[in-house]
């Protein structure tokens, strides 16, 4: 359906209707367009720590969750 991961992130942001007032949780160590796909739509980013392997730290994600959280972007 899409030609790149960048396009997939764009599609994800569109499909979940990310926008102002929404919080998006993503790993602090990721490609810049992971963040751009959501900031282009006015969403606020919340960066989660990563573990020793570079994966998103689930315990830190739980600490960042609020009622404004729209999604968690798990990057592999």
pTM (2 decimals)?
0.89
Q: Are 60 and 42 in contact (CB under 8 A)?
A: no
**Which of 9, 4, 39 is CA-nearest to residue 24?**
39
Helix, strand, coil percent content, the chain, rounded in steps of 5? 35, 20, 45
Domains of the chain, residue spans? 5-72
Low-confidence stretches of the chain (pLDDT < 50) are: none
Beta strands in the chain (DSSP E): 23-27, 44-48, 69-72
């Amino acid at each position: 359906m899409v030609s790149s991961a960048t396009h997939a992130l764009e599609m994800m942001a569109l499909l979940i209707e990310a926008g102002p007032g929404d919080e998006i949780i993503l790993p602090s160590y990721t490609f810049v367009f992971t963040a751009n796909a959501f900031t282009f739509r006015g969403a606020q980013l919340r960066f989660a720590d990563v573990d020793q392997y570079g994966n998103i730290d689930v315990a830190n994600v739980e600490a960042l969750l609020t009622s404004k959280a729209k999604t968690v972007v798990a990057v592999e």
